[in-house]
Amino acid sequence: MANNQISVDDSQIPVNVSFSKSFNVAVPMIDRHLDEGRGTKIAIQGDFGDVSYTVLAENVNRYGNVLSALDLTIGDRVLMMVKDCPEFFYIFWGAIKAGFVPVPLNTLLRAGDYQFMIEDSGCSVIIYSPEYETEVMTAVAAASRTPKHFFPTDGDGSIGELVVDAATILEAKPATADDDCFWLYSSGSTGRPKGTVHAHKDIPVTCVHYAVGVLGITEDDICFSAAKLFFAYGLGNAMTFPLWVGATTVLSALPPSPAMTFEIIKKNKATIYYGVPTLYAAQLQAMENSTPDLSSVRACVSAGEALPADILRRWKEKTGGSILDGIGSTEILHIFISNAPDDVKPGASGRIVPGYEAKIIGEDDKILLQGESGALWVKGGSIAKYYWNNPKKTAETLRDGWINTGDTYYQDEAGYFFYCGRNDDMMKVGGIWCSPFEIEAKLIEHPAVLEAAVVACADDDELIKPKAFIIVAEGADGNEALAAELLEHCKAGLARYKYPRWFNFVDELPKTATGKIQRFRLRT
Ligand code: 3UK
């Protein structure tokens, strides 16, 4: 095979994907479309205007050239706190093409989180949307090391100014399919987020197995993801999947809301829509008073947390269409168990995506039979190589090509997988991780709080939200006024989605003999 080529043998199932010896994934994802005659086709749409595949490729080269001209070493990390906009693509692919490692970060995080990531990643460059300047600069000032360069995407001193004069041609840095390509930070219930290192090959593997294999995506699709690009879910939905087939993606920097999703779907005639269960629930509520035009949509996808069967039922009733629930993870990069357009099982995550393997493991590492619930392990070609700086976690999670997903599942006789919960205390709120420990730590900062325990609790739509149990400090009153004060305290100090939705004042918390809070006893 010539350099930078992928061979996809679809005469067999699962489809076999192989890579040329020298392989930089930016070439097939970006440059290939010019060779295949898609130069004038729209790659990206949004309120910033249309971006053609030619303009995309030229800008990727410009950004790659600007990064190459800095005093960097191949493999250096480029942290990105960038909203959903074309520059996200230019920076991400420009870095990869030039031999650097982009690390998109959750733009909802706060300075304290960024400080850790700046220190942990040892990044050389930070690029941020001007909206996040305060959090980013507070983090830079507090960090124990200073990255060589930090640029806003536009405005004074921005990378946007530098790229104007940069060349539109760039030779891809030679790499191999297994080389480190990009990272995403994944969070756990204890300890800090983990830099999850993905290889070049992981991107095409998710495209072939899930986007083409399950969704049947083609270049005629118009993709819209309510989940942002910094999630592995959004990164696939809104960037790598459409780029793989030469389709069009619609980006918006607005926070997801029913009105915004309905408007974009209608205006851009989206054919594939990707949401999370919380948003589907909010959309259903909005549909009580209005009938959005969803006629262009041929597939709705849900991931991030389990889709309650009742939401699926109500969605079908309202729209006549289905929602394809699938489970993915940052470590496996995208969806590996999924419902399919012709095979939907309400309440289930679906079947294994062809190309991946799954096993359910019980006590003593025994493989369990159908119907028995245990730890879900998965094998496949898109699993992260390792956790940065964290050999212990790597060894615990990755074993002989298999990964422990951290989820409890069972499989029924017909082969459908059913989600039973996490193996730890982590919860998903609106599809985003929330650690009970982090919220408890914030609550305990407040002088009126003696002790706090936070657990996952289902709201009226069966969607998970944090619920706080609080023992008040001496002299404080556990009343509504305090609840309101604690709510403000959490909203001010935590990422927006993490505040507790309920406050319960209690006299004691259930604990183990060693003093560990027994959250499971609070969950009912
Ligand atoms: C949970 C689900 C039940 C589950 C993701 C699609 O969510 C993604 O990645 P994260 O690393 O979280 C992974 C964990 O989230 N989960 C995700 N989807 C479902 N639980 N049903 C679901 N459908 O605990 C899993 O281990 O944030 C989702 C594509 C790419 C992704 N990274």
CA of 326 to the centre of ligand 1 (A): 8
Distance 375 CA to ligand 1 centre (A): 15
- Categorise residue 365: left if φ over 0, alpha if ψ from -120 to 50, beta otherwise: left
- 212 neighbors 244 (Cβ within 8 angstroms): yes
Total-model pTM:
0.90
Distance CA 129, CA 107 (A): 9
**Strand pairing report for 357-361 and 272-275:** unpaired
pLDDT of residue 514: 59
Rounded to the nearest whole angstrom, what is the distance from the C-alpha of residue 405 to the centroid of ligand 1? 9
pLDDT for 363: 75
d(Cα 490, Cα 271) in Å, to the nearest integer?
Answer: 38
Hey, where are the domains in the chain? 53-175, 209-422, 430-523
User: For residue 14, is the peptide bond before it cis, meaning its omega torsion is within 30 degrees of 0?
Assistant: yes
pLDDT band at 188 (very low <50, low <70, confident <90, very high): low
Instruction: Supply 243's token pair.
Output: 């780029």
First-to-last alpha carbon distance for the chain, in angstroms, is 58
C-alpha span between 216 and 209 (Å, rounded)? 10
CA distance 480 to 443: 15
Q: Summarize pLDDT for 57-67 with one digit per residue, the tens.
A: 999 999 999 99
For ligand 1, the distance from its centroid to the CA atom of residue 155, given in whole angstroms, is: 36
How far is Cα 253 from Cα 82, in angstroms, rounded to an integer?
Answer: 10
Residue, of 113 and 435, whose pLDDT is higher: 113
Instruction: For 402, list phi and psi in degrees, rounded to 5.
Output: -100, 150
- Give the number of other Cβ atoms within 10 Å of residue 441's Cβ: 14
Instruction: Report angle CA 431, 89, 269 to the nearest 5 degrees.
Output: 70
Q: In angstroms, what is the span from residue 42 Cα to ligand 1's centroid? A: 30
Could you identify the atom of ligand 1 that is nearest to the CA of residue 406? 26
Task: Give the C-alpha distances (Å, rounded to integers) separating 318 from 286, 288, 312.
Answer: 11, 9, 10
Pocket test for ligand 1, best of 428, 464, 497 (most atoms within 8 A of CB): 428
- Dist. CA 358 → ligand 1 center (Å): 15
- Residue-by-residue DSSP string for 175-202: --TTSEEEEEEE--SSS--EEEEEETTH
Q: Which residues make Cβ contacts (< 8 Å) with residue 48, sequence separation at least 6? A: 85, 86, 251
What is the 249 CA–ligand 1 centroid distance (Å)? 22
For ligand 1, atom 2, name the residue with the nearest CA.
Answer: 305
Query: Cα(366) to centroid of ligand 1, in Å?
Result: 24
pLDDT class for 522, splitting at 50, 70, 90?
confident
Region 225-249: mean pLDDT is 97
Residues at CB less than 6 angstroms from ligand 1 = 186, 232-233, 303-306, 325-330, 334-335, 349, 405-407, 419, 422, 428, 433
Residues 436 and 519: beta-carbon distance below 8 Å: yes
- Give Dmax (Cα) for the chain: 75
Q: Which CATH architecture best describes the domain 209-422? A: 3-Layer(aba) Sandwich (3.40)
Three-state SS for 459?
coil
Q: Are 57 and 34 in contact (CB under 8 A)?
A: yes
What confidence score (pLDDT) does residue 524 get?
A: 67
CB atoms within 10 A of CB 514: 5
Q: What is the pLDDT of residues 384-438, one digit of tens each?
A: 999 999 999 999 999 999 999 999 899 999 999 999 877 777 788 888 878 887 8
Q: Which CATH number fits the domain 53-175, given the four candidates 3.30.70.20, 1.10.10.60, 2.70.98.40, 3.40.50.980?
A: 3.40.50.980
Distance (Å) from CA 329 to ligand 1 centroid:
5
Spatial neighbors of 382 by CB under 8 A, at least 6 apart, are 198, 201, 202, 203, 205, 206, 209, 332, 333, 334
Given ligand 1 and candidates 185, 203, 214, 305, which is best to mutate, with the most ligand atoms within 8 Å of its CB?
A: 305
Residue nearest to ligand 1 atom 12, measured at CA: 329
Q: Under CATH, which number does the domain 430-523 receive?
A: 3.30.300.30
Nearest CA to ligand 1 atom 6: 328
* CA distances (Å), origin 462, targets 128, 308, 317: 36, 7, 18
- Express each pLDDT in 18-61 by its tens digit: 999 999 999 999 999 999 999 999 999 999 999 999 999 999 99
CA of 277 to the centre of ligand 1 (A): 12
Q: pLDDT category, 189, cuts 50, 70, 90? A: low
Strands (E), 57-129: 77-81, 101-104, 125-128
Nearest to 306 by CA among 455, 457, 431: 431
Mutate to test the pocket of ligand 1, among 105, 182, 327, 353 (most ligand atoms within 8 A of CB): 327
Q: For residue 419, what are the β-bridge partners?
A: 409
Q: Rounded to whole angstroms, how far apart are CA atoms 389 and 391? A: 6
Calculate mean pLDDT across residues 250-266: 97
Over residues 108-134, mean pLDDT: 96
CA of 305 to the centre of ligand 1 (A): 6
Report the atom number in ligand 1 closest to the C-alpha of 326.
23
Looking from the CA of residue 335, the nearest atom of ligand 1 is: 29
Q: Whose CA is nearest to atom 28 of ligand 1?
A: 328
- Give CA–CA dist 325/395, Å, rounded: 30
Length of the chain (residues): 524
Q: What is the pLDDT of residue 71?
A: 95
Instruction: Decide if 53-175 and 209-422 have a common fold.
Output: yes
Instruction: Check whether 297 has a pLDDT greater than 90.
Output: yes
More confident residue, 186 or 166: 166
Q: Band the pLDDT of 474: cuts 50, 70, 90.
A: confident
Tell me the pLDDT band of 221, cut-offs 50, 70 and 90: very high
Q: Are 469 and 452 in contact (CB under 8 A)?
A: yes
